[in-house]
Amino acid sequence: MTDLPVLRLKPKMDPRRIRFGYPWVYDNELVLDRRTKAIPAGALAVLEDAGRTPMALVAANTGSRIVGRVLDTPEVTELDEEWFAKRLTRALALRERLHDQPFYRLVHAEADLLPGIVIDRFGDSCVVQPNAAWAERHIEMLTAALLRVTGVTHVLKSAAGRARGLEGLDDRDAVLAGEAPGAPVAVRMNGATYMADLTGGQKTGLFYDQRPNHAFAAGLARGAQVLDVFSHVGGFALAALAAGASSALAVDGSQPALDLATEGAGQSGLGDRFDTRRGDAFEVMAALAEEGEDFDLVICDPPAFAPSKQALDAGLRAYERVARLAAPLVRPGGYLALCSCSHAADLDRFRMASIRGIGRGLYRTGRTAQLIHTGFAGADHPVHPQLAESGYLKALFFRL
């Protein structure tokens, strides 16, 4: 017996999806009476089927669309530091197999059996994004286990991101252990040095997910003139220069991000071939076309234009517009890479929007396109087999 509160499936809900491993239970699948609505956000509960058979230990948040997040079997009735340590040890084993240096995504939420939790590692520092109420509620246990398992000395909390708002959480960052670094952290990837601002940058400070796509683009970049749009801290541009690109222009709306990109180029010994241009990406691409500029390799890696199903149609139009403006900037025989980190826009929808945009951008030129490669996030961003949202990143490489 347990004193934990109970969440129960409605009589007509098929329990097999949960039994077969789906990690979320939605509000419209549950009996939500006055008693269940009184469960504190982030508290543990037992999920039962309609026949009152226990199915799973879940984290409850009746104020969220996702009311239950599956944590463990129903025999587990409490969480402690050791519980977190076992999950973190499992996650660490994969990353140490993949990478010989401690710079990677350590925890990728549901796919690492820690729903709603993202942790990126930067040497002796970790940045945690507790994007679910249960993670915020257990943050001290998580931090203690993280220090013990990884040996890091600094743990920071990033409260940025749309997901926390959906869970009713605040947007206040914090230092959970050690201290915040006084300067950006240098991260070596694909032959270049990137500068990660762990306290003032976007999300955790660096986007590890694009690492394999940076590498593929770099393989196309030898001797090329490169345009990296929505560049952030120089992701594609610096990898291309390290692989032998003749020049790279990074475009972004954030001057601090471009300053970090410039610093990274300097530390990589690539500063003489690197330039930046601050401005709205759509406006800059239109201006480059008017100026008669073109490039051997153009990469566009925008933010999530379709972060939800409600934003899908507008997001797909935005991706199509990116492709339409970018395609004419590619020299004949050159390459165009288009990326999306919107989980609401699946691969097929994103591919069709991109192809439509390329067609519009190259209309009346007689040019054709070949899709030569489809890339995804690196293996340190594993995909939960039953949760399509965990495979959010897509990268399409075209030869025009």
Task: With beta carbons less than 8 A apart as the criterion, state whether 94 and 380 touch.
Answer: yes
Q: What is the pLDDT of residue 307?
A: 84
Q: What is the pLDDT of residue 106?
A: 98
Q: What is the pLDDT of residue 1?
A: 53
87 shares a domain with 60: no
Q: In which domain, by residue range, is 10 found? A: 6-72
CATH of the domain at 53: 2.30.130.10
140 shares a domain with 13: no
CATH of the domain at 362: 3.40.50.150
Residues of the chain with pLDDT under 50: none
Q: Please state the domain count of the chain.
A: 3
User: Among all residues, which ones are annotated catalytic?
Assistant: 341
In a domain, 127, yes or no: yes
Task: With beta carbons less than 8 A apart as the criterion, state whether 18 and 30 touch.
Answer: no
109 shares a domain with 29: no
In a domain, 357, yes or no: yes
In a domain, 67, yes or no: yes
CATH of the domain at 160: 3.30.750.80
Q: What is the pLDDT of residue 390?
A: 85
209 shares a domain with 133: no
287 shares a domain with 200: yes
Q: What is the pLDDT of residue 160?
A: 86
Give every CB contact of residue 30 below 8 A, 6+ residues apart in sequence.
Answer: 7, 8, 9, 10, 36, 67, 68
In a domain, 1, yes or no: no
114 shares a domain with 12: no
Q: What is the pLDDT of residue 177?
A: 97
Q: What is the pLDDT of residue 60?
A: 96
pTM summary value: 0.95
